[in-house]
Amino acid sequence: MKITLEYIGEGDTVIDATAGNGHDTLLLAEAAGESGKVIAFDIQETAIEHTKALLQEHGMLDRVKLVKDSHEHLEKYLDKGSRPSAVIFNLGYLPTGDKSITTKADTTISSIVTASKLIKLGGIITLVLYSGHEEGKQEKERILDLLGQFSPREFHVAYTSMINQPNNPPEIVWITRKK
């Protein structure tokens, strides 16, 4: 997350496409500052509740718009003309929730494409991929396939994997907009 946070300044609009238990959302809210705005998405009510409680505990709720909807519709919730400086997708399932409810390749891919059109010049999209379960494996393959075709004139796409760790550790992709 350290690299992602370097792309966020006071007053920025930032999107957490997968609120989960709110840990990323909290870091993004702190980075965006009092005048900033985070829009955090999750399709699960428990995730929205956990995120809300965590933000309240840290006095950050007023900076965050919590949306119980799929990140596939992220554009709908953005103020017109607003250009996020960062969008983060922490994929897979809710660590403390029902492991059969996971992000899906189709919706993840369409929202990555949307996010790539919306982020500001110099903005960053961060993906955390989990390939330890079947849906996650397919999601990763399709995402890497998609990103391999992103225009090198418009985007840097850096894919990082921990090559000596067993059991499918998380892998990270940073997409930064050059043009």
With CB under 8 A as the contact rule, the residue among 164, 170, 177, 179 that binds its own copies is 164
Shortest reach from residue 172's CB to its own copies, in Å: 9
Task: Report in angstroms how near the CB of residue 35 gets to its own copies at its nearest.
Answer: 27
Binding mask of the shown chain, residues 88 to 127, with x at each position contacting its own copies by CB under 8 A? ----------------------------------------
- CB nearer its own copies, residue 38 or residue 115: 115
Q: Return the residue of 39, 112, 125, 147 that touches its own copies, per CB under 8 A.
A: 147
Q: Where in 56-75 is the site for its own copies (CB under 8 A)?
A: none
Question: For its own copies, which stretch binds (CB under 8 A), given 7-15, 21-29, 88-96, 162-170?
Answer: 162-170
Instruction: Answer yes or no whether residue 81 interacts with its own copies by CB under 8 A.
Output: no
Give the rounded distance of the alpha carbon of 129 from its chain centre: 11
Angle at 9 between CA 8 and CA 11, to 5 degrees: 120
Whole-number Å distance between alpha carbons of 44 and 168: 25
135 vs 11: CA distance, rounded Å = 36
Determine the Cα–Cα distance for residues 22 and 31; give it in Å rounded to an integer: 14
Six-digit token pair at 82? 């607003």
33 residue type, one letter? G
Query: Please, are residues 156 and 176 in contact by the beta-carbon 8 Å criterion?
Result: yes
The residues of the shown chain that bind its own copies, judged by CB under 8 A, are 144, 147-152, 155-166, 173
